[in-house]
Structure 1
Amino acid sequence: MASSVEHKKPLFRNINAEEDDPEVTEIESLCVNCEKQGMTRLFFTKIPFFREVIVSSFKCEHCGNSNAELQPAGRIQDKGVKYTVRITNVKDLNRQFVQTDTATVSIPELDFEAPPNKGALTTVEGIIDRVIEGLNQDQILRRIQHPDDAAKIDTFIGKLEQLKTCQQPFHMVVDDPSGNSFIENPFAPSSDPESKVVHYKRTKAQDAALGLQEQVEEAPREDAPQEFHAKDEVLMFPSNCPGCNSPCQVNMKLVAIPHFKEVVIMALNCDACGLRDTEVKGGGGIESKGRKIILKITDVSDLSRDVLRSEMCCVNIPELDFSTEMSGSAGKFTTLEGLLDDLTTQLRATNPFMMGDSGQKDKISQIDEFCDKLDKIKSGENLDVHIVLDDMTGNSYLQNLYAPESDPNMTVDEYERTFEQNEELGLNNMNTENYQG
């Protein structure tokens, strides 16, 4: 008798030439050319630049008509992302660029904004060329019917062509509510001095445009229990795996961290691809002040200290001249060793252009060299370093082994946020006067 337990496979898998069953789905489709039935073949896979994608190929045996498309199928991120890159020289035009079909591209110096278009893997120069190509499409007819408009467009195309000479610096701004667009950082693992990355909370209109609907809370039933103790309950709800997009279950629990605050921990375990992931949300709101935690590592045992890193926390290692931007991703409750592992993973995952066969060897070597330095810290070979957690929301935490006494190797400084930081957190326009909960 056949076993009732089947081996689950991820919905989106890496392309593997040795795989016997790539699971290509075939669907009969109407040919728009001859209006007879053709065949569409769908393949779900993962590639480095676009995460999960759907490759579709159509062919009509009757008239020979065929076409192929690539559509992004990755999960929509928890927050949108906005890249602002200053282009100063011709080398910057070669920055590689992933644009999804929900991203807008603008050039403030020309007061120009391109609406969302088909997803593409290109460069900054390639984006400019796509805009020029789009503007040139109907110019022949436009010069006959609307010569004044055509002249204005020709003038604007000339300005776009001038950008490619980089005689004057300009900015390229990419705003993607889905959070899946990406612009290469050629300075990795160091921060990019010519780039600013902001992760933001989407508006209701943006959620609606992405097909995300608000969950409507059900009215309590009469037979529902009268009391609910969140600290004693583990809540479970269905979700999709961020790794392979297969259905899975998320467990959520409220936990109190000693000498800090309550946090919400969500854990995911995917049976299809084996991914295990945790996410931490602060149980309270944004603190009145930012917090900077500085720890000098003096012993291997320091690597076992508990760490709560919020989504707005920057991690710095001054001795390695290393600094991260705000993660923009979910918060995490781990150890100091786990935090260093995450940094290694982030360096590779957020710089896909430097990985694989198409990666630049010098850049790959640079990333590998830095990861080796992180490995030496984890192994105890290099302990003469400081770990700095800078969180302008005040919601990050590093375990004090001497609590409730002060830790001689750790300092915790609270600071007043700047106007720009409060603006980024949406606090400047928040009115709490005469508020009654």
Structure 2
Amino acid sequence: MALSGGEDGEDGGGSGPLFPDLSAEDSEDSGPTLIESLCMNCFQNGMTRLLLTKIPFFREIIVSSFACENCGWVNNEIQSAGKIQEQGVRYTLHASTRQDLNREVVKADSATTKIPELDFEIPPFTQKGALSTVEGLIDRAVGGLEQDQPMRKATNPDVASKVEEFIEKLKKLKELETPFTLVIDDPSGNSFIENPNAPQKDEALTVTHYKRDAKQDSMLGLQECTEEEKPENIKEDLRNEVLQFPTNCPECNAPAETNMKLVQIPHFKEVIIMATNCEACGHRTNEVKSGGATEPLGTKITLRITDPSDMTRDLLKSETCSVSIPELEFELGMGILGGKFTTLEGLLADVKELIVTKNPFYAGDSNVPEKSVKLKEFAYKLDEIMLGKKEAHLILDDPAGNSYLQNLYAPDPDPEMKIEKYERTFQHNEELGLNDMKTENY
């Protein structure tokens, strides 16, 4: 097998990113890697081209393209090179309009696709990952079933007839004679269904983040650490020093160091702050995890933003906290943006970056003028709130009770802030994994 990464044969080593951005100005040294491979059609040697790159607003991918000069057979494939997320994700779409069929979908190869009305399911790892639409997923399923129909008709006509009948049912879904439900359940957390109403809440789409079970971790190649591997007295160590452990940069995938420290927030509780600084690309990221147990009651914090000084309030948003701004008809679900210890201005800036700057449907080939106008209007209103020109309400709703917003009048009550404690519902406990947690009679 011959391996070539360019004319000089260099492997691209150095301090640069492992997955460079796609660019029309890429040099020859950053081109694809050539590998002489066996053609599975004529069993002679062909050439495979591998390209490690990063799609803007998406994630790292490996593009593989094989071509055989002897028989002309070609095969193209895309594999995700992104990391597995901390939580799995389940998207439930109730499709009833043509716009729903045009929603863009990122389906990872670890995702399970279901259409309950037809009792149809595509198991994980039976299809390669794809960037498509809802209609494209249906067409892909139809194409997979039609592929072996000639052989079925010759060997088992009864089965072929039933499969043909089922294919017709799939095709009728695109006519939307009756609404149907599309469920994409991805334990890796790397799948996605577009919200065409962004930044407003999507009434037809339900997004649920959940903790993986042992079977799903095993399917993804993850292993839980044993009791012998768990560090002893970790809280005591975190109080006294900053711990470091090796990781990979979430931006360029180069080796980096993550710092971790336990911090006590005044008038609140302990939190764990993790920060990563990549020397290769300069990317910096931080995340906050609660250092305590889940509170007995959920917490809902409502702040009336009336003055620019409100932007300086310290804010802790846990990974279980949802954020909403009623005046903008905006809601950010739990799990999105992760945990953060920042200021109110910092949170709103992160929301703007997520919805506008990093939105894959805001720029490039996926850009739709109507969506761009709507998102620009949202960014303008958000800027007015941050500058104190527009009054608004910020609502932090955390069923785990682990979020916090600074009271500028402490220890006296804050006239602009309302804190409510509430009993969690069964659905809240289900999302937090508390319904299956047993802590008694052990």
Normalising by structure 1, we get a TM-score of 0.91
| 8 A contact 2:58–2:360 mirrored in 1 | no
1:185 aligns with 2:192: no
CA drift of 1:169 comes to 1.1
Q: Which residue of 2 aligns with 1:390?
A: 397
**Distance in 2 between residues matched to 1:410 and 1:243, nearest whole Å:** 37
Deviations, residues 130-175 of structure 1 (Å, cap 9, x unaligned): 1111111222222232222222222212221221111111110001
CA drift of 1:283 comes to 0.6
One-letter amino acid of the counterpart of residue 68, structure 1: N
Query: The residue matched to 2:306 in structure 1 has which SS?
Result: coil
**Distance in 1 between residues matched to 2:16 and 2:354, nearest whole Å:** 25
**Distance in 2 between residues matched to 1:169 and 1:67, nearest whole Å:** 36
Q: Which residue of 2 aligns with 1:163?
A: 173
One-letter amino acid of the counterpart of residue 112, structure 1: F
Query: The residue matched to 2:266 in structure 1 has which SS?
Result: coil
| 8 A contact 1:340–1:374 mirrored in 2 | yes
Counterpart pick for 1:84 among 73, 88, 92 = 92
Q: Which residue of 1 aligns with 2:48?
A: 40
Which runs of structure 2 are paired with 1:339-378 in the superposition (5 Å)? Answer: 339-348=347-356, 351-378=359-386
Q: Which residue of 1 aligns with 2:411?
A: 404
CA drift of 1:63 comes to 5.6
Q: Which residue of 2 aligns with 1:141?
A: 151
CA drift of 1:58 comes to 3.0
Q: 1:412 to 1:85 in 2, by over 3 A?
A: same
**Distance in 2 between residues matched to 1:387 and 1:128, nearest whole Å:** 40
One-letter amino acid of the counterpart of residue 115, structure 2: I
| 8 A contact 1:50–1:98 mirrored in 2 | no
Query: The residue matched to 1:13 in structure 2 has which SS?
Result: coil
Query: The residue matched to 2:30 in structure 1 has which SS?
Result: coil
1:321 aligns with 2:323: no
1:17 aligns with 2:27: no
| 8 A contact 1:290–1:394 mirrored in 2 | yes
Query: The residue matched to 1:161 in structure 2 has which SS?
Result: helix
| 8 A contact 2:321–2:399 mirrored in 1 | yes
Q: Which residue of 1 aligns with 2:6?
A: none
Q: 1:306 to 1:226 in 2, by over 3 A?
A: closer
Counterpart pick for 1:124 among 106, 110, 134 = 134
Q: Which residue of 1 aligns with 2:285?
A: 277
1:174 aligns with 2:181: no
One-letter amino acid of the counterpart of residue 376, structure 1: E
**Distance in 2 between residues matched to 1:220 and 1:378, nearest whole Å:** 43
Q: 1:115 to 1:220 in 2, by over 3 A?
A: closer
Query: The residue matched to 2:286 in structure 1 has which SS?
Result: strand
1:212 aligns with 2:219: no
Deviations, residues 344-386 of structure 1 (Å, cap 9, x unaligned): 122136741332133101101211110111112222222x111
| 8 A contact 1:79–1:328 mirrored in 2 | no
Aligned residues: 427
Counterpart pick for 2:162 among 152, 171, 176 = 152
1:305 aligns with 2:313: yes
Q: Which runs of 5+ in 2 are unaligned?
A: 1-12
One-letter amino acid of the counterpart of residue 130, structure 2: A
Normalising by structure 2, we get a TM-score of 0.90
**Distance in 2 between residues matched to 1:196 and 1:219, nearest whole Å:** 37
One-letter amino acid of the counterpart of residue 178, structure 1: S
Structure 1 range deviating more: 419-428 or 241-250: 419-428
**Distance in 2 between residues matched to 1:204 and 1:432, nearest whole Å:** 19
1:420 aligns with 2:427: yes
One-letter amino acid of the counterpart of residue 183, structure 1: I
Which runs of structure 2 are paired with 1:27-66 in the superposition (5 Å)? Answer: 27-33=35-41, 35-48=43-56, 50-60=58-68, 65-66=73-74
| 8 A contact 2:201–2:329 mirrored in 1 | no
Structure 1 range deviating more: 146-155 or 365-374: 146-155
Which runs of structure 2 are paired with 1:238-249 in the superposition (5 Å)? Answer: 238-249=246-257
Q: Which runs of 5+ in 1 are unaligned?
A: 1-5
**Distance in 1 between residues matched to 2:230 and 2:86, nearest whole Å:** 28
| 8 A contact 1:307–1:336 mirrored in 2 | yes
| 8 A contact 2:315–2:342 mirrored in 1 | yes
**Distance in 1 between residues matched to 2:60 and 2:308, nearest whole Å:** 39
Structure 1 range deviating more: 260-269 or 321-330: 321-330
Q: 1:349 to 1:421 in 2, by over 3 A?
A: farther
Q: 1:132 to 1:425 in 2, by over 3 A?
A: same
**Distance in 2 between residues matched to 1:141 and 1:225, nearest whole Å:** 63
